[in-house]
Amino acid sequence: MASSDLNITLPPLDLSQHGFAKLVNHGLSDESVKELYHWEHFDQGMKTDKEWPNRWPKEEDLPGFRSFMEKHYDSCTQISVALLEAIESSLGLVAGSLSTQCVGGASEMRLNHYPPISVGRMKQGKISRIWPHTDLGVLTLLFQDTVGGLEIETREKKGTFCPIPRDEWNEMIVNVSETLERWTNGVLPAGVHQVTVPPSLKDQDNAVIPARYSNAFFVKADRNADVGALPHFVKAGEEPRYKSMTALDYHTRRVATAY
């Protein structure tokens, strides 16, 4: 399975045990990954999206920003297709069952900047960098810096979280999101995750957690795609756990309950 532009080749990808994986040979150049951390905060969709167009800063204010981000968005789209093809292979699905549902430009990319904050303030329990949650797309592709604080809930014991440090500077974290859980009828549960106090600072109440930077690409189903359980995962005589609806309808309902 190879992307036409990035030369990505991936073996079957099993995300059933932990709901996330780390990917190093993802096809992005070292220079491209490094440049991600030169930018601070931005939310972006597909450049041809006429329903929700991007609002770009002026070129003179951020020279080269738009061209880099549009290229990176396209690269992440290609990577997501290769990943979904690898997941299809792992699950025994017909080729294209997942990957062809995510090519309409609904995916979003976000540059995140978390300002410095004291450990003591975080421990008061009234504020967090990100509270425990699942993402509502298909997959999330994440690059993070070395500050730490990202944690994934363990499948064995709900409410128990495991730190996910950055081991390789160019690694990409792949996380299962809610739409993939729906398509697989719960076979691949969405990964619950949070961003909290880094392990190295948990016992230092007077310390300040440095600013944190990350880049997330939210792989989303096409807005008119059906995000109900695929027949492959529904046993004969049983009702699917997840009913048929469009991705846009699910997104709208989900956002309404979250906010």
Q: Is residue 241 part of a domain?
A: no
pLDDT at 37: 66
Q: How far is CA 133 from CA 120, 175, 177, 193, in A?
A: 23, 12, 10, 6
Q: What is the largest CA-CA distance in the chain?
A: 62
**Residue type at 14 in one-letter notation:** D
Which of the residues in the chain have pLDDT under 50?
1-4, 41-42, 44
How big is the chain by its Cα radius of gyration, in Å?
19
Residue 4, pLDDT score: 41
Alpha helices by DSSP H, 92-165: 119-123
Q: What is the pLDDT of residue 41?
A: 45
CA atoms of 254 and 259, how far apart (whole Å): 9
Q: What is the rounded CA–CA span in Å between residue 234 and residue 242? A: 10
CA dist 83 and 77 (Å) reads 10
Name the domain count of the chain.
1
Which residues constitute the domain of residue 63?
20-221
Q: Report which residue type is found at 28.
A: L
Dihedral over alpha carbons 193, 198, 199, 201 (to 10 degrees): -150
Is residue 235 one of the residues assigned to a domain? no
Residue 7 covered by a domain: no
Q: Which H helix or E strand runs over 74?
A: helix 65-91
CB 136 within 8 A of CB 249: no
The tokens for 219 are 């792989």
Q: Domain for residue 47, yes or no?
A: yes
In a domain? residue 227: no
Residue 180 CA to residue 53 CA, distance in Å, equals 26
Judged by phi (left if over 0) then psi (alpha if -120 to 50, else beta), residue 96 lies in left
- Residues 170-200 have pLDDT tens digits of 899 999 999 999 999 999 999 999 999 999 9
Q: Indicate whether 229 belongs to any domain.
A: no
In a domain, 1, yes or no: no
CB 20 within 8 A of CB 175: yes
Q: Rounded CA gap, 103 and 233, in Å?
A: 23
What CATH number is given to the structural domain containing 57? Answer: 2.60.120.330
pLDDT of 68 reads: 87
User: Could you give the C-alpha distances from 29 to 17, 58, 151, in angstroms and in order?
Assistant: 29, 26, 26
In a domain, 247, yes or no: no
